[in-house]
Each structure stands twice: as C-alpha cells, then as structure tokens.
Chain A
Amino acid sequence: MNTVRCDDFVEWVTDFLEGELPRETERQFVNHLAECDGCDRYLEQMRFTLQQLRTLPDVPLRHAVREQVLYAFRTRPRS
C-alpha cells in the first residue's frame, strides 16, 4: 500500500486534471487511484461534475435587449 492519504488525494485532483502535479506526486496519485475505490469514484464524480458544467444551458438575452444590440449595429456611425 502506498502512503498517499485519501484526504490528500482529493486536494490534488484539480492540479492533476490541469497537468500541474509534480512528476513524483503525479505518480503517487495514479498509483493510489489504482488501489483505492473511494478515490477512483471521487475522481469519476469530479469528471462528471465538469462534464455537467460544460453543458449547462445558456441564459439567453431577452428579445428586447437583443433587438437593441442589433439596432445599434445597424445605426452605428461608420468610419
């Protein structure tokens, strides 16, 4: 069993996903992942969370605001 603690692992997740963990820490992180079901699930849930964030629906502009913006384009002073 390697010496990585799960409460350290969860603090390394973002650095790992960003590719910013030092080489040796990254090796420990990956080894721990292979032998700890809890941390494996934690990382999987973090990836799921990120995937959900990336596909959140937009908050559309109200029609009136959109029309004002397009009107400004049509009537803008030309250089």
Chain B
Amino acid sequence: MGVELPSDAEIVVRLRASDEKLFALLVDQWSGGMVRVALTYVPNREAAEDVVQETWLAVLSGLDGFAGRSSLRTWIHAILINKAKTLGIKESRTLPVADTAAPAVNPLAFQNSAEPHPGHWRQAPAAWPSPESKAEEGELVRHLDDAITELPPRQRQVLVLRDVQGFTAHEVSAAMDISLANQRVLLHRARSAVRARLATYLTPERGAAR
C-alpha cells in the first residue's frame, strides 16, 4: 500500500524535527484505514473523520511519549480506538446490541438426524463466480461494506482490525481490552457472517441453505 515508510524510530526522529513531508505521507497512508476503524464505533463518516483528526492531534502532542513498546501504527490505532469509544458512546442512541451466538452456516444447509448423514452438507456450497468486470468488483466491495456495517459492533471492530487492517490477534485483543479467546470467537462469527452474506449475493439461486 503506497510508498514504503522508514522505520518507526526514524519516523519519530524526523517528526520531532518537523519533517512535514513525512507527516503528510503518514496521514495519507494511514488515515483511510483509520476512518474505517473509527466507523466501526461511530455512526457516520463525519464523526469518524472527527475521530481521526483528534487522533492525529493527540499523536502530535504525545509523540515525545511514544516509547516504541508497540509499533507506531499500533500505538496510533490504540489512541484512535480510545477516542472512537468515547465518541461512540456519546453518539449512540440505542442500547448496545448483544453479540448473539449464531452458527457459522445456516443449519438448513446440513442434513438433520432423520437423514442419512446428519451434520453433513445437503448440497456442497455452490461455486462462486469470480468478478469479471470493474463494475462487478465494485458490487462485491459494496456488498462487503454492507456486510461489515450489519455486524454487531464488537464483531465489526474485531473483523476490521484483523482482516481489513491486518493487525495481529495480540494487537487487537490488547487494543480492545478483550481476551485472545474472546477475540477469536468474535472474529469467527464475523467472518462466517460476511462469507454467508457474500454467498447470498454471489449465488442467490441457492436460497437459505448455503
């Protein structure tokens, strides 16, 4: 993604020395992903951009305190998540939705105990056609975005941090203050829901069982 960045240690030295070009490069490379993460906590793009702006300001005033215990990008995301949480709580008008347990795949896709092979696929999941044009790729992205938006908040947060932003399990469980095991359960539910959602879009003729 974009230009290769110097090491964290060099970035910090150069920012302290007011290297504006490098700062602009960081802002351009990281803000887009940061808006995505903020959007998992706050209700709209404008609020998400506010969070990102506040985060960069906090990064500037806190730069001297960056100790290099985590990567710079992880450190910045931890600040972002704290800011987004505070704002997200202020802005949410509804009660938090519980991350209800649901099977990864609709149980109707599997044979029941009266059938010859209980728990096995009735019919293998239908093959997905690969996108054949820019328009179809765009559609796929739109469906992915919708699928992410529809996830319960904590599933959405874990999925975006892990699978979109590429942070490690340890980084995410530390930033969200949840256990590794809990992180993995949320990730599993989120990934399963997103796959199911893509299946609905890519193989609509299959109905409920996929």
Pairwise interchain contact B184-A11, C-beta atoms closer than 8 A = no
Give the size range of A's interface with the partner: 35 or more
Pairwise interchain contact B124-A59, C-beta atoms closer than 8 A = no
Inter-chain contacts of B145 with A (CB < 8 A): 56
Bound CA span A5–B112, Å = 11
Pairwise interchain contact B141-A7, C-beta atoms closer than 8 A = no
Pairwise interchain contact B124-A61, C-beta atoms closer than 8 A = no
Pairwise interchain contact B20-A54, C-beta atoms closer than 8 A = no
Bound CA span A57–B138, Å = 10
| CB of A10 closer than 8 Å to a CB of B | yes
Contact of B32 among A45, A54, A61, A78 (CB under 8 A): A61
Bound CA span A65–B53, Å = 7
Inter-chain contacts of A56 with B (CB < 8 A): 36, 141, 144-145, 164
Inter-chain contacts of A45 with B (CB < 8 A): 125, 128, 195, 198-199
Inter-chain contacts of B182 with A (CB < 8 A): none
Inter-chain contacts of B124 with A (CB < 8 A): 37-38, 41
Pairwise interchain contact A70-B32, C-beta atoms closer than 8 A = no
Measured CB to CB, the closest approach of chain B to A15, in angstroms, equals 7
Inter-chain contacts of A14 with B (CB < 8 A): 184, 187-188, 191-192
A contact patch SS:
helix
Pairwise interchain contact B188-A11, C-beta atoms closer than 8 A = yes
Please, could you name 10 A-B residue pairs with CB atoms under 8 Å apart, sorted by A? A10-B105, A36-B120, A45-B128, A52-B141, A57-B32, A60-B32, A61-B27, A61-B35, A69-B27, A74-B20
Binding site for B on A (CB under 8 A): 5-8, 10-11, 13-15, 18, 20, 36-39, 41-42, 45-46, 48-50, 52-54, 56-62, 65-66, 68-70, 72-74, 76, 78-79
Binding site for A on B (CB under 8 A): 18, 20, 23-24, 27-28, 31-33, 35-36, 39, 45, 48-49, 52-53, 56-57, 60-61, 64, 103-105, 107, 110, 118-121, 123-125, 127-128, 140-141, 144-145, 159, 163-164, 166, 169, 184, 187-188, 191-192, 194-195, 198-199
